[in-house]
Each structure stands twice: as C-alpha cells, then as structure tokens.
C-alpha cells in the first residue's frame, strides 16, 4: 500500500466484505490499527498493521477488471430513479472495486474497475491524457468534409474547450472517436451542437486495453501483462508531457 486510505476500503480491498459490512466490523470494535481500536472514518497509513479479530489483515495485490457495461446502468454505488447501478452486475465479492472514470447511463461498453486507488487516479486525471476510443452510431451520416475539422478543432462545453482527438468513418452512419479529455457527455454534446443525434455510444478501448469477446454485462480479470501495459501507457504519456514541457521552455 503506497497511500493512506480509509479503513473500510482497506478492509474491503482485503476481501472482508463490502464497505458497509466493513464499517460494521469497525463499529463493533473488531478492528485495530497499530494496536489501537479503529474508529469509523479512520485512515490507514502506509506500513500500518491492521488486525480484525486478532488476525492480521493484508490488502490484495492490484486487481483490474473489465466490464462490458450495458445501457441503463449507472456508474454509481447508489441507484437513482429507474436506473440500476453497475454493482448489480458484479458478484458480491467484487463490490469493493472502484470504477475508473464513468460512462453515462445510456452509454455502454468498456469500463475498468480496480482496487488500486492510485492507479485509478492516474488513469482518470486530465493531465494523463489517456486515449479512449468510442464507436458512435448517428441518426444520419456525418458530413466529414464540413464537420470533422470543427470537431477536431473543438468547441466549448460550459466554458471549457472540448474537442475530438481523432475521428474516422466506421460505417454509413457510424464513426470512431478518440478522446483524451473526460468532459461529461462530451461526444453527445459536441455532435448535438452540429445537429446530430447519437443513437448508440460504445466505448471500445481505454489506453492499451481493448474490449474484445465480452458480452454485455460480462466481466473478466485483466492479466498481469495487461495491467503492466496500462501502466506503461501512463509512463509514456507522462514522458511525452515532460518532453513537450521541455520543448516549450
């Protein structure tokens, strides 16, 4: 563990149940941190000794899972109105995982989940510029000659500049879009400005990892080599950022 985390997440990551169940363990006085009784809301610093019922609790190694999120599910731990949450698609033993970034309720496709908070933050922070690819089905063919340059040049969403990094045809009424930004509903809003209606939006890739052979609602655990490839993408982006900064200096 390389960062301070809340005790309920520490216990959940170690496989002792959901965060709510782990809160109950703490409230019952069954958990200690470095020999003192833990309190709800306590944090666990790096190197601390955590015990539950007198037994040492250790976190699991980094896990990353891929989920093919169907439409109609929220990236949230709390249901809202008619929408279910993605955790209803997961077995209880995976409810400790946090989702990496979001997909709108009506959007679908690749969603990563992990027990490594530091990795999740690195993958989602704007400065990382991790490429994400989407297959977008429209209500009519996109006029590439007229509108692609504007989408690549960018417009503003709520006073923030927003653009596509790449856009290519994928069918008569379909396009593939690559983003390195993470602005809410970015694809739908930008295409909406140009009077296109998005009929279906599917994320197919995050960094080096592509969703393949996963049916809607299915999950699978990433292999160590795939996790390392994601981490390599982060290192390459950081190196490129430093290189660009040096060039401007």
d(CA 14, CA 34): 17
- The vertex-234 CA angle with 108 and 103, nearest 5°, equals 15
Known catalytic membership, residue 104: yes
- Three-state DSSP class for residue 192: helix
Q: Are strands 55-56 and 50-52 parallel, antiparallel or unpaired?
A: antiparallel
Q: Which of 13, 23, 34, 104 is catalytic?
A: 104
d(CA 54, CA 41): 20
CB 60 within 8 A of CB 13: yes
CB atoms within 10 A of CB 80: 10
Which DSSP state fits 173?
T
Find, among 94, 114, 116, 99, the residue nearest to 17 by Cα.
94
Structure tokens at 181: 């930004």
Residue with tokens 């169940």: 21
**Catalytic amino acids?**
104
């Amino acid at each position: 563990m390389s960062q301070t985390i809340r005790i309920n997440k520490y216990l959940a990551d170690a496989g002792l149940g959901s965060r709510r169940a782990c809160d109950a363990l703490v409230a019952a006085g069954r958990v200690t941190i470095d020999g003192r009784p833990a309190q709800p809301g306590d944090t666990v610093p790096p190197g601390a000794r955590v015990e539950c019922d007198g037994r040492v609790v250790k976190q699991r190694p980094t896990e990353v899972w891929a989920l093919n999120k169907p439409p109609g599910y929220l990236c949230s731990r709390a249901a809202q109105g008619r929408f279910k949450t993605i955790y209803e698609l997961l077995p209880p033993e995976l409810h400790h995982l946090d989702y990496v970034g979001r997909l709108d309720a009506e959007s679908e496709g690749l969603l990563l989940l992990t027990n490594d908070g530091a990795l999740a933050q690195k993958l989602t922070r704007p400065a990382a510029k991790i490429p994400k690819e989407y297959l977008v089905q429209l209500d009519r063919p996109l006029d590439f000659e007229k509108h692609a340059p504007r989408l690549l040049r960018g417009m503003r969403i709520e006073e923030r500049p927003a653009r596509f990094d790449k856009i290519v045809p994928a069918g008569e009424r379909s396009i593939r879009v690559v983003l390195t930004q993470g602005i809410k509903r970015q694809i739908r809003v930008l295409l909406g400005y140009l009077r296109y209606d998005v009929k279906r939006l599917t994320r197919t890739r995050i960094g080096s990892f592509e969703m393949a052979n996963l049916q809607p609602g299915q999950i699978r655990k990433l292999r160590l080599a795939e996790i390392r490839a994601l981490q390599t993408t982060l290192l390459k982006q950081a190196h490129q950022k430093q290189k660009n900064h040096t060039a401007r200096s």
